[in-house]
A and B are shown apart, each in its own frame.
Chain A
Amino acid sequence: MVFSSLEFLFLYLPATLLLYFAVPKKYLQWRNVVLLVTSLIFYGWGEPVYVFLMIATILVDYVFGFLIDKYREAQPKKAKGALVAAVIINLGILGVFKYYDFVVSNLRLIPGLGGLPMLNLELPIGISFYTFQALSYVIDIYRRDARVQKNPATFGVYVTLFPQLIAGPIVRYKDIDEMLRYREESVALFASGIRTFLAGFAKKILLANIAGEIWSAQAAIALGKRTVVGSWLGMIFYAFQIYFDFSGYSDMAIGLGKMFGFRFLENFNYPYIARSITDFWRRWHMSLSTWFREYVYFPLGGSRRSTIVNIRNLFVVWLLTGVWHGASWNYVLWGFYYFVLLVIEKQVLLKKLQNTPAFFQHLYTLFFVLFGWLLFVFEDMSAGVAYLGNMFGVGAAGFASQLDAYNILRLLPFITICVVACTPLPKRLFYRLYENHMWVKVAAYAAGVFALVLGVSYLVNSSYNPFLYFRF
């Protein structure tokens, strides 16, 4: 199930809220059990078979967490063994389901290995997210950053918690440890959760989906018929789509979390206002960057050792970041692209960049981020190269068409909304006034109602499908 579906909003969510708040506040353990069961249903709705795989993951990490905790003081070697085993099992499952076919399809190119079998397994939804969460648990226990969770149901809630299950944010165990044991739902938090959820809902339905349609239309244009302007327009809308989609989903997750008394860390911090690539990655998908920093980059030595080691560490982290996004060469290349950019920035460019006008810094960042998305979106790299060519006039059907002019004109208001929504301006203005002006609070309320009604309209419309050619 996804948040942006009618059956989630108007069937699953009310049922879950009802069950959750029907349990008296003092029985938090039982509220957690409700969350576990409803989260499993949430996951099983889309993945009726793989839900068992997830339950297996929970059990494995629960047991290993328990073992690590038990041996940590007395027999550190055993504890380390348990940690290594847990890491291998988790990554092994991820490897089999996500990367096996990719690796094998490449190995097959080697003469003599052509007969290696493919598994053709479908990718379990959210496996990259929940595997990383599960890993964070055993590692945090091992590092004594968090206490062991003796209650398997409570631990299960951590892994399966439906708000962040499918698309993050990736919650580190130590950040949520306390909340699993004690948390306070409140009117203010719940209302704030609704606002955050609806903001994310609007981003996803009203911005990302529409931007996505415009991008898809451009991407679908036959080879040789795309114009230069059209291909830039398409790419820019893809950038809007991926940001609003992902950050919208994170907002919905954070908002839902608040309704149940959880506070997740922010996942996005206006990445498109970044002034450098380094800055961009401090703002984009922060929970993933944090995860890699804490569990890969720092253990490898981070930046505190020699330049060479530092570059190696960056290389490892960015290769992994690339591969984490998908089992395909373009993601590897995408990771490598950012590795190169970040190393250049770190070694040379960043200091020089600071002396340039802010406008240039933004332009520079957006330019390279846009080409990053080009690498990211085309799994078929020859199509990506063709698209890139179109952006610079190679193989394009001219600079611009009348249709481009029509589209740009009619999309101008929407583009403006997207641009403004990428900046923190509206929110800053809003909250500066929020504290002291009643009308702003009322306006926030009205905006929420507006977002809900409009979002639902777009959702309903997407299933609205007049059938013109049967008996017509």
Chain B
Amino acid sequence: MDKRPEKNTEQDIILDIQLRCAKKARLVDLLTIFTFVFALFATAILFIVLPDKTFSEQENRALQQFPKVSYYDKPLGRLLDGSFTLEFAKYYADQFPARDFFVGIKGMAEIALLKQENNSVILGRDGYLITRPPEPDLSTLRDNIDPIRDFASLMKKMNVPVTLAIAGRTYDVMKKYLPETFPKTLSDELWEYARYLAGQSKDLLYINLADPLRAIAESSRASGPLYYRTDHHWTTLGAYYAYAEIMKAWGETPAPLSEFTIEAASDSFYGTTWSKAGLKWIKPDTMEYFRFAGDEDFITEIKDTGKSFYGFYDRSYLDKKDKYSSFIGGNNGRVDITRAGSEKREKLLIMKDSFAHAMIPFFAMHYDLVILDLRYFSDSVSKLVLTEGIDRVLIVGNMENLTQSVIYRILGYGADEALAAYIKYSYPIRDIQVNGNSIAGYTIVYPDKPGYAEAAKTLHDAILERTGFDLMMEASAEYDKFDRALVLADTGIDIDGLIKITVEGDCLYFRSTAPDGITGVVNLFLDTYIKNGTGAFNFPEGYIYADLVNTDIIAIMP
């Protein structure tokens, strides 16, 4: 017989008891073994036998397929670097038999434990599924609103008014459905910050859509829910109230609710929060379309795919899980909506995330629409405003999106080009050339002539103040010996107040006949391109135009 290890713990004694009464317990033991082994083998066999799925509607994502063993050039490469086994684990989990069933079990267990939420979705009153607001990410919000503000200032110069309307999350609006104990003020700071950021510029009209909708939801005015129970979006009714708020802010009259006929598009809408929560017993939502006379005369044209249809609704989505995408065909880079055969109306550019979709039919009653989703659109918006003859810009974003990813930074793309094109008609322009990399490490070189030392000093101080870079200064006639230099030179065009900046090799040249002109243009240059003290400026190849006598503007021209 084997020599037993010493009995040093309770567990060992217990094991002995178990073994001693093994006979009595034999039936249970056999059942235990049978069940366990059966579960292991049955699952393994099911996994092998069941065909792999490629897409999960529940999760709205592609599922991991069997990973490749080797690269074409190195056999076993993926085995050795571990990427095969990592992907295999994902593959196994994604293709696990009865995945959704187990997800549901977990959801039930969490709620049974009185945890009130599952997978960061709170189970609110009346079956409201409310995404738990994450720690507010103020910097992402800033990185979105800052470029919007700059864009608004640019548009102001082109006489196009810009509005930013931020939609609340279910948490912000449907507070009365939150569990009693859940704090109601978690996002106050975030909304206050948004208001502050947008308020930095008079050129931007800011509308908080959360507060008025909450007021409506908490009053008896609303004839139905303003947000879906099972989805993160607002309902069509919620979207209507949002539209009305925006119209009122513009001094326009919204179409009254009585003008619409309500069509129940689907009574089995299970949205994103339902998928995420895994609380399978929650009942589906009803999705409505607010129809009005003549709404079939509108043409929705999805520019990404070239697909177009009459009306606003792509009803093919109603047969799928992702029913919200039936509004204007879901997320696309650019969608245009016009009324067939109508006279030319004002043109509204809407930049948005999916929250705007339910609102689109309402705005289409008043405007021709160009709808951009900057997550899937990469051209210059400013250029588009010019070429399409846009009269008004509306940016609609959900707070969640605005705090999760930086979407609006690309509003700066080509802004100067567009403005240059715009002002080219209005102002007399000469050219300046610019190129360069980081400004650190440059030396300011200036001609040894009266006036230039002062100009160079101004440039030096401005750079120091704005970027913290303390550049060398040197008076010299020979510029060639400097690898990296900002050279103030007096060659170039001999018109007063004009400055020329050119690139020769790695050097950046500022040229002017008037030292005061250098001060002005350098300040502008720094303001425009090196602000925030990042110290990096990268320009597309091209020219900067400046007319320091008449305007305050620098523009880049291809």
Contacts and interface: CB of A to CB of B under 8 A. Distances in A.
Interface of B: 2-5, 8-12, 14-15, 17-19, 21-22, 24-26, 28-33, 35-37, 39-41, 43-44, 47, 58-61, 79-82, 85, 88-90, 92-94, 96, 99, 102-103, 105-107, 109, 113-117, 119, 135, 179, 181-183, 185-186, 232, 272, 275-276, 278, 322, 324-325, 330-331, 354, 401, 404-405
Given A6-B96, A195-B32, A406-B183, A468 B79 contact: no
Given A410-B115, A457-B105, A472 B60 contact: yes
Given A11-B47, A468-B232, A183 B2 contact: yes
5 contacts: A14-B37, A190-B29, A220-B135, A401-B183, A460-B99
Nearest to B19: A188
Size class of the contact patch on chain A: 35 or more
A382 interface: no
Contacts of A9: 40, 43
Contacts, number: 213
Contacts of A444: 28, 32
A471 B325 contact: yes
Given A14-B37, A457-B102, A410 B116 contact: yes
B106 A187 contact: no
Contacts of A14: 37, 40-41, 44
B301 to A, nearest CB: 18
A444 B17 CA distance: 15
Given A406-B182, A410-B181, A448-B32, A17 B109 contact: no
B15 to A, nearest CB: 6
A259 to B, nearest CB: 9
A368 to B, nearest CB: 24
Question: Interface on chain A toward B: helix, strand, loop, or mixed SS?
Answer: helix
A48 B19 contact: no
A414 B322 contact: no
Given A413-B114, A463-B94, 7 more contacts: A15-B44, A265-B8, A413-B115, A427-B14, A435-B21, A459-B93, A464-B278
Given A7-B92, A410-B117, A266 B8 contact: yes
Contacts of B354: 472
B32 A445 contact: yes
A184 interface: yes
B61 A7 contact: no
Contacts of A461: 102-103, 106-107, 119, 278
A272 to B, nearest CB: 15
Name the residue in A191, A435, A454 with the highest tally of chain B Cβ atoms < 10 Å from its Cβ.
A191
A115 interface: no
A438 B37 CA distance: 22
B91 to A, nearest CB: 9
A120 interface: no
B114 A472 contact: no
Given A48-B79, A175-B5, A456-B102, A194 B119 contact: no
B17 to A, nearest CB: 6
Contacts of B44: 10-11, 14-15
Contacts of A453: 102, 105
Nearest to B82: A48
Contact of B3 (A178, A435, A449): A178
Given A188-B29, A191-B32, A465-B59, A412 B82 contact: no
A221 to B, nearest CB: 7
A436 B354 CA distance: 64
Contacts of B325: 471-472
A92 interface: no
B14 A405 contact: no
A10 B43 contact: yes
Given A401-B183, A403-B183, A460-B99, A188 B25 contact: yes
A7 B109 contact: no
Contact of A7 (B60, B81, B89, B272): B89
Contact of A194 (B12, B32, B96): B32
Given A11-B92, A472-B354, A466 B60 contact: yes
Contacts of B324: 472
B93 A184 contact: no
A179 interface: yes
A216 interface: no
Nearest to B404: A469
A94 interface: no
Given A460-B103, A466-B61, A263 B5 contact: yes
A308 B96 CA distance: 60
**A-B CB proximity, top 10 nearest:** A402-B183, A463-B93, A191-B29, A188-B22, A467-B61, A457-B105, A457-B106, A460-B102, A461-B106, A10-B43
A371 interface: no
A298 interface: no
Interface string A397-408: 000011101100
Contact of B135 (A222, A454, A464): A222
Contact of A6 (B31, B85, B92, B105): B92
A442 interface: yes
A443 B38 CA distance: 19
Nearest to A49: B80
A281 interface: no
Nearest to A453: B105
A402 B232 CA distance: 24
A444 B14 CA distance: 14
Nearest to A179: B2
Given A192-B18, A195-B32, A466 B59 contact: yes
Nearest to B107: A461
A209 B330 CA distance: 37
Contacts of B331: 471-472
Contacts of A424: 10
B89 to A, nearest CB: 6
A454 B105 contact: yes
Name the residue in B2, B15, B32, B114 with the highest tally of chain A Cβ atoms < 10 Å from its Cβ.
B32
B260 to A, nearest CB: 25
A359 interface: no
A441 B99 contact: no
Contacts of A470: 60-61
Given A46-B82, A269-B10, A457-B106, A471 B322 contact: yes
A463 B60 contact: no
A48 B331 CA distance: 43
Contacts of B80: 48-49
Given A48-B82, A183-B2, A464-B278, A192 B15 contact: yes
Contacts of A1: 85
B109 A454 contact: yes
A13 B38 CA distance: 12
Interface string A122-143: 0000000000000000000000
Contacts of B19: 186, 188-189, 192
A392 interface: no
A468 B276 contact: yes
A360 interface: no
B60 to A, nearest CB: 5
Interface string A5-36: 11101110111010000000000000000000
A81 B92 CA distance: 49
A10 B40 contact: yes
Given A48-B80, A452-B39, A461-B102, A466 B93 contact: no
A266 B322 contact: no
A409 B331 CA distance: 40
Contacts of B90: 463
A231 B105 CA distance: 31
B88 A7 contact: yes
A460 B135 contact: no
Nearest to A410: B116
B59 A464 contact: yes
Nearest to A444: B28
Name the residue in A15, A411, A458, A461 with the highest tally of chain B Cβ atoms < 10 Å from its Cβ.
A461
Interface string A426-441: 0110010011001001
A189 B18 CA distance: 9
